[in-house]
Amino acid sequence: MTHSPILINGVRDRNPVLILRHISNLRVIAMGDSSVFGVGDQGDAIPSVGAGWAGRVAHDLGVAHFLNVAKNGARARHIVKHQLNAAVAFNPHLVLMCIGTNDVLRGDFSRDEIKNSLNDVIEQLRESKSVIVLLGLPDPIKTAPGPLSLRKILSTRVQVVNRVLMELATNHNLVFVPTWNSRIAHERRMWHVDRMHPSAVGHQHIADLVRRNLSLPRRSKKKLPTQSTSSRSFELYWLITNGAKWFAKRSIDLVPGLIWLMISERIKPTKF
């Protein structure tokens, strides 16, 4: 596929990513699930929600116009229904997106649904010449809680999602940022106590990965804090309070779904 030169703020180039360097009033939007929303980015604070990796990218680039429309629990289908209209109206120069984890956790996981939903989103955003970043998912075997048998199944599904993301990135000339091959991405300090969301350090690490993949220099002189004083006692407290609430809220649909997922995968494994 041949892409015509794109003109933004009087700058013409075949590579729209490079044009971002010349835009002083960048408009950046974040789309996706709880990891994009910023869960895990406040250490021991409850709720542990902060800027998140997308907000940190915006901060480090000195962005004046930043909008985060990500939602906790969002799946690929929800981006089309609940986030796309706001994104199109915002007319962003840069779109930061991560989605798929909540699809992986559900019994009705569908590669085709994820691909078709994201394809619809991408096609509409590309009409405004936005640069779109797709963030790959980490390997659950190395990060997620739970028995190894379940983590293996989730890992297989994550690989399916990542292949979809890479395919979409290739087909639409997007920026794909893998997370699984980072040397330190799976270290304990990179993860919140729930082991499902990045810690403040992890969010900043992802932000740095994204910015480097875009070849954009840091414009902000001051970094957002990444200190965490998480202790064993706090982790136990969090699991008893927030962790128990999360489990109770989702147990009706999630736990039976995960049990069925393990059974069905033995009968009919997920295909790549």
Give the per-residue pLDDT at 258. Answer: 54
pTM of the full structure? 0.82
Angle between helices 148-172 and 111-126 (to 10 degrees): 30
Mean of per-residue pLDDT scores for the chain: 81
The SS3 call for residue 121 is helix
Question: 195-205, pLDDT tens digit by residue?
Answer: 778 888 999 99
Measured distance CA(168)–CA(147) in Å, rounded = 32
Task: Tell me if residue 8 falls in helix, strand or coil.
Answer: strand
Question: Between residues 29 and 51, which one has the greater pLDDT?
Answer: 29
Beta bridge pairs of residue 27: 65
Over the stretch 70-89, which tens digit does the pLDDT of each residue have? 999 899 999 999 999 999 99
Backbone angles phi, psi at 169, to 5 degrees: -65, -40
Above 60 in pLDDT, residue 255?
no
pLDDT band at 193 (very low <50, low <70, confident <90, very high): confident
Domains of the chain: 11-267 (3.40.50.1110)
The string of pLDDT tens digits covering residues 259-270 is 555 555 455 555
